[in-house]
Chains A and B, each alone.
Chain A
Amino acid sequence: MAAIESDVSAIIQSNAQESEHISTAKKLGLWNMWVAFTAFIIALPMGLYQVAERSDLFPALESAQVYYASISTHGVLMAYVFSTFFIMGFGYHTAGYSLQQKLWSTKFAWSGFIIALFGVVLAAIPLLTGNASVMYTFYPPEVGHPIFYIGATLLIVGSWFWSVDMIVAMTQWKKANPGKVVPLVMFGVTINALLWLWTSAGVAAEVVFQIIPVTLGLTETFDPGLARTLFSWTLHAIVYFWLFPAYIVMYSIMPKEAGGKLFSDEMGRVAFVMLFIFSVPIGFHHLYMDPQQAAGWKLLHMFGTFMVAVPTLITGFTILATLEISGRLRGGKGLLGWVSRIKWDNPVVLGTALAMLMLTVGGWGGVINASYSMNSLIHNTQWVPGHFHLIYGGTTVIMYFAVAYWLWPKIIGRALYSNKMALIQLWSWFFGMWITTAPWHILGLLGQPRRVNTLPYDTAIAALWDPYEMVMLAGSLLLTVSGFLFIINLVMTHLNTRKQDDMSVTYAVAVHQPMHVPKLLNSLSFWNWAMLCYMIISYGYPIIQFAFIGTPQSTPWSY
Chain B
Amino acid sequence: MKNKEHEIVLSEDEQRKILESSPRGTWAILAIYAVIFTLSWLYFWFGLFVNHGPVK
Binding site for B on A (CB under 8 A): 261, 263, 316-317, 320-321, 324-325, 328-331, 335-336, 338-345, 360, 364, 367-368, 373-374, 376-377, 445, 511
Contact = CB atoms under 8 A, between A and B. Distances in A.
Contacts of B44: 368, 374, 377
B26 A340 contact: no
Interface of B: 1-3, 6, 8, 10, 15, 18-20, 23-26, 28-30, 33, 37, 40-41, 44-45, 48-49, 52
Given A321-B23, A324-B23, A377 B52 contact: yes
Contacts of A344: 1-3
B33 A360 contact: yes
Nearest to B10: A329
Given A321-B26, A330-B8, A445-B48, A364 B18 contact: no
B3 A324 contact: no
A542 B25 CA distance: 46
B33 A377 contact: no
A342 B33 CA distance: 20
Given A324-B26, A329-B18, 9 more contacts: A325-B19, A331-B8, A335-B25, A338-B25, A340-B2, A341-B6, A345-B3, A377-B44, A377-B52
Contacts, number: 65
Closest 6 CB pairs of A and B: A321-B23, A331-B8, A344-B3, A320-B26, A321-B26, A330-B6
Nearest to B55: A376
20 contacts: A316-B30, A317-B30, A324-B25, A324-B26, A325-B19, A329-B10, A329-B18, A335-B28, A341-B6, A343-B3, A344-B3, A345-B3, A364-B40, A364-B41, A367-B41, A368-B41, A374-B44, A374-B45, A377-B52, A511-B19
Contacts of A335: 24-25, 28
B30 A320 contact: yes
Contacts of A364: 37, 40-41
